[in-house]
Amino acid sequence: MLTADIAIIGAGIAGASLAAELAALLPQERIAVFEAEPQPGYHATGRSAAFWDECYGGPQIVPLTQASGPYLAECGVLAPRGALYLAPPGEDAAVANFLAAYAGSGVALHPLNRAQLAARVPGLREGWDEGVWQPACADIDVATLHAHYLARARASGVTLHPNARIDEVTRTAAGWRLAGRGVAAECGTLVNAAGAWADEVARLAGIGQLGITPLRRTMVQLRVDPPPPPDLPLVIGMDGSFYFRPDGARLWLSPHDETPSAPCDAAAEELDVALALHRFGEVADWPVAAIEHRWAGLRSFAPDRLPVYGRDPRDGAFVWFAGQGGFGIQTAPAAARLTAQLLAGAPRDSLTDRLDPALYAPDRLAA
């Protein structure tokens, strides 16, 4: 029987980053991370086309993203890209509404006209006449960031247990008893960093579920002729209907789909791949030479689309670190640091002092 002070379920970017931050604040605590798959990061983390974009996720995610930027830069995982938000044809108020939504947030945004858009996106079709340039956007090297947090955690004494699927969670007087494939453990505090399986873990523990819903997101890798220019920005529809960006000599494309799904090993559906190609063809006149790869991942959202960080008000020995949608990687440094400080009772620091933890507390949903 393995014993730990804190057990974390899930070793994706959420579990790995929180384990590292908790170990730094609680060096005497025994921390164990349980991962159902043979390899950490198999699901959402390993399938992300992640970027650091201050606008991605909406205005209430901006503080988490901005706070995380310096840490990501210090880790050397950011590569400059820039983001171009395109207003759909005929939506005359789209740019004004977009700028108003982020007014006062500190995000640098610059309206562009048709000529400026066409200079950044070769082959841009007629009708796409307005947009907004977000220069600070950068690509994220997800694998390196994930490995960084796993290495930090291990160096601080955290134990990682792959192939450890938890099927039973029992409340005890001292905390929790965990059982399942490759798992026999007891812990004082249980942290739910299970991504798409977050509500399922809560159900196993007898904690009320929060309505965290997994949504399937499709990605397609295209070979286009000619190849995309290396300085092509991340191009996003303001209406949330697509985004694409280069990956070396290839183009990564998504229809920005959000199809409710049971927690699973997600796969791309042919209809969503076709939708991605259709929407891309409406934006840019680029010959597609081949579809080289397609995949899907699950992005999990709470009902209000904000993440859930902190102790459950119904049982303080159960901690939520979930509901991070598609912004979990770009916000990982601030989210993990803030949640670790909340659990450890530690003071806030320069990375988290501008964050409002009440905005992300489970109390707002548990009632």
pLDDT tens digits for range 279-338? 999 999 999 999 999 999 999 999 999 999 999 999 999 999 999 998 999 999 999 999
- Residues 227 and 242 reside in one and the same domain: yes
Residue 124 DSSP one-character state: B
- Residues 205 and 260 reside in one and the same domain: no
Instruction: Give the pLDDT band (50/70/90) at residue 38.
Output: confident
Between these two residues, 42 and 38, which has the higher pLDDT value?
38
Model confidence at 47: pLDDT above 80: no
Q: What is the mean pLDDT of the chain?
A: 95
Instruction: Give the separation between CA 4 and CA 193, rounded to whole angstroms.
Output: 16
Of 146, 127, 118, the closest CA to residue 33 belongs to 146
Please indicate, yes or no, if residue 78 is contained in any of the structural domains.
no
Q: In this structure, what are the phi and psi dihedrals at residue 57, rounded to the nearest 5 degrees?
A: 105, -15
Model confidence at 367: pLDDT above 80: no
Mean pLDDT to the nearest integer, 78-91: 96
CATH code for the domain of 245? 3.30.9.10
Q: What percent of the chain has pLDDT over 90?
A: 93
Model confidence at 43: pLDDT above 90: no
pLDDT of residue 159: 97
Please indicate, yes or no, if residue 333 is contained in any of the structural domains.
yes
Model confidence at 343: pLDDT above 80: yes
| Boundary of a domain, candidates 252, 272, 301 | 301
Model confidence at 260: pLDDT above 70: yes
| Boundary of a domain, candidates 272, 301, 330 | 301
- Residues 160 and 24 reside in one and the same domain: yes
Whether residue 213 contacts residue 301, with contact meaning beta carbons closer than 8 Å, is answered with yes
* Segment 187-225, tens digit of pLDDT: 999 999 999 999 999 999 999 999 999 999 999 999 998
Please indicate, yes or no, if residue 221 is contained in any of the structural domains.
yes
Mean pLDDT to the nearest integer, 115-131: 96
- Residues 157 and 289 reside in one and the same domain: no
Mean pLDDT to the nearest integer, 25-50: 86
Instruction: Give the pLDDT band (50/70/90) at residue 44.
Output: low
How many structural domains is the chain composed of? 2
Instruction: Give the separation between CA 290 and CA 277, rounded to whole angstroms.
Output: 11
The pTM for the full model equals 0.96
Domain residues for the domain of 122 are 83-135+213-301
Of 132, 99, 83, 362, the closest CA to residue 231 belongs to 83
Model confidence at 137: pLDDT above 70: yes
Model confidence at 154: pLDDT above 80: yes
Cα dihedral value 141, 143, 148, 154, nearest 10: 170
For 108, other C-beta atoms within 10 Å of its C-beta total 11
pLDDT of residue 167: 96
CATH code for the domain of 330? 3.50.50.60
Model confidence at 261: pLDDT above 70: yes
Model confidence at 46: pLDDT above 70: no
Quote the tokens at residue 45: 């983390």
Q: In this structure, what are the phi and psi dihedrals at residue 132, rounded to the nearest 5 degrees?
A: -135, 135
